[in-house]
Structures are given as structure tokens and as C-alpha cells.
Amino acid sequence: MLNSGASGADIPYHLTNFVEGIGLFCAAIAPTHFPEHAHPEISVDVCYENTACLSTWQTAGGRQLTRLLGDGNVSIIGSGQPHGSEWLQEAEHLIFYLTPAFVERATRDLLRRGSVEIVENRSADDPLIRQLAGTLRSELRREHPPERLYVESLVNVLAVHLLRTYSAENKALQEPRHGLSRGKLERVAHYVLDHLHEDLSLATLAGMAGLSPYHFSRQFKRATGTTPHQYIVLRRGERARTLLSTPRLSLVTIANTVGFTHQSHLTHHVRRHFGVAPSALRQ
């Protein structure tokens, strides 16, 4: 995988392997040259303001092609495809790296197939990918890293979109044979309440229901009216509200107890869900 040590890169924030099978790279790239290289991961690169990048790549037939990428361009590079770039001026970009194992797992779960080819596209106009990248970019700029389950949710939407839009064979997604029964939903809900203090994983919750993360998220929202991440944040807020009635517990202790990463995280969500600061709930 391309790492953060590339020459000429000034990296204000960077996450790698935050979610199993996914690498994330977000950086302000100074004018520099990245020589031709290849990696096993499929990469999805989103360019931002002031981007002027000469992207070169080699087709399956051996032809060498060049394209100028600018603000808003989305570049999808296939596994093992040789490519390089020349950054003409400083600009920011965000890259998702999807390992072959992650793509194969998503293909089995969503298409009921063993493998699929993702077709490269060097200058896609893709509003959904830009939206997903923009959401994650905003999260990475916060003081504390985003929750794993939230990133998992975004990445699963990306995987589904890639399979639907950029696979060599355009096949419909397969619905699971068994849905999210009331019993499975209750088991997941009890697990969440018992493990609020942990860094809960979408894959773990989906596994308890016998569903892929994508299908679990869809059916969970259909059953509850909210996403798994929103549900967990609300349960944490409710637990925090109860604990705030105990004056001897500090806000830091309460945040750690209910699974918020920091006191400011607790304050943000208490204000958002209950309309008041945590101090008001102590009265």
C-alpha cells in the first residue's frame, strides 16, 4: 500500500487500516512526482480544491495514457494496475484502499459470487463517492478520530456503489434469504446495551444477525427507523443522561463508561439529542 512517507507529502491527517480491509489516506500533497507503481488494493482517489495532477497509467493492453485531474475528479484504479502522477501545485486528496479480500467478501455477500472485476475510471464524475469522501474528510478533521462503526457504514455504502456502478458485469444485488427477525433484533439491542463502553463494530453486530454489514444496516434501519450508528449514539446518550444524575461521576468518567471517545464527544451528543449541556442534566 502507498504509505505516508512519499516524498513531498505534507500530511495533516492520515488513517490507515482503521477498518479491516480498508486503508485511508488523506493529505495535502505538495508539488511532487510519484513514479509509476502498483498495489494489490483497488484505490478510489477523490481530488479537492486547487488540484492540478497529471495522472499516468498503463492499460491492460500496455498503452500509456495521461490525463489532467482537477477539483472533484474521482479516480478508480484497479488492483495491480501500474500508475503514477505529477502534482503541479499543492492540493488535498483522499484515497480509499480496498483490499482484494474486502472486495471478495463484499462480492460474496452482495452478489453471491466469488469474484468480480472493478473497471478502472480515471476521471469519473461521481457525486456519491464525493459525498462519502467529503463526510469522512470532515470527520478526520475533528479533534478525535471517528468511530469505527461510522467509518464501516460509509465504507459499506462505497463497496455497494462500486459493485453496482463499476463492476465489469452489472448484476443486481442479492437479498438475503433470511431477514432481521424480532429475536435477532432484540439480541443485537441487548448486546449494544451491554457493550456501550466498547468500540462496537458493524461487522460484529451484523454477524450476530447472520447478515452482511450492508444488508444488516438496511434491515436494521427498516426495523427501527434509524441506522445502527445513530441507534448506538442515542443509547449512549440515554445512558449518559442517567449517569449524570450521580454528581460524584466526572464527565470524563461518564464519557468513558458509555463509549464516547472524549468528554467533548459526550457534550456534543447530549446537546444534540437533549437540547441542553450535560451540566443542565445534573440539576
pLDDT tens digits, residue range 121-134?
888 899 999 999 99
268: region left, alpha or beta (phi > 0 left; psi from -120 to 50 alpha): alpha
CATH number at residue 41: 2.60.120.10
- Grid cell in block for residue 24: 485511508
- Cβ neighbours of residue 72 closer than 8 Å, sequence gap 6 or more: 47, 48, 125, 130
> Which residues on adjacent β-strands are paired with residue 134?
none
- Grid cell in block for residue 69: 485531474
Closest to 84 in 3D by CA, of 132, 26, 43, 117: 43
| Contact in structure between 230 and 273 (CB atoms under 8 Å) | no
Averaged over 152-172, what is the pLDDT? 83
pLDDT tens digits, residue range 193-250?
999 999 899 999 999 999 888 889 989 998 999 999 999 999 999 999 999 988 889 9
- The pTM of the full predicted model, rounded to 2 decimals, is 0.79
- Grid cell in block for residue 116: 468480480
- Helix (H) and strand (E) counts for the chain? 10, 10
Residue 55 has pLDDT above 80, yes or no: yes
22-29, strands of its sheet edge to edge: 9-10, 22-29, 91-98, 42-47, 74-77, 121-124
**Is position 2 within any domain?**
no
Q: How confident is the model at residue 109 (pLDDT cuts 50, 70, 90)?
A: confident
Domains of the chain: total: 2
Residues 259, 143 share a domain: no
Give the domain extent around 243. Answer: 182-281
Q: How far is CA 198 from the centre of its chain?
A: 19
Residues 61, 112 share a domain: yes
Residues 91, 229 share a domain: no
> Which residues on adjacent β-strands are paired with residue 25?
95
Q: What is the pLDDT of residue 63?
A: 83
- Grid cell in block for residue 151: 467509518
Residues 256, 230 share a domain: yes
CATH number at residue 197: 1.10.10.60
Distance CA 44, CA 246 (A): 48
Closest to 185 in 3D by CA, of 216, 144, 140, 149: 216
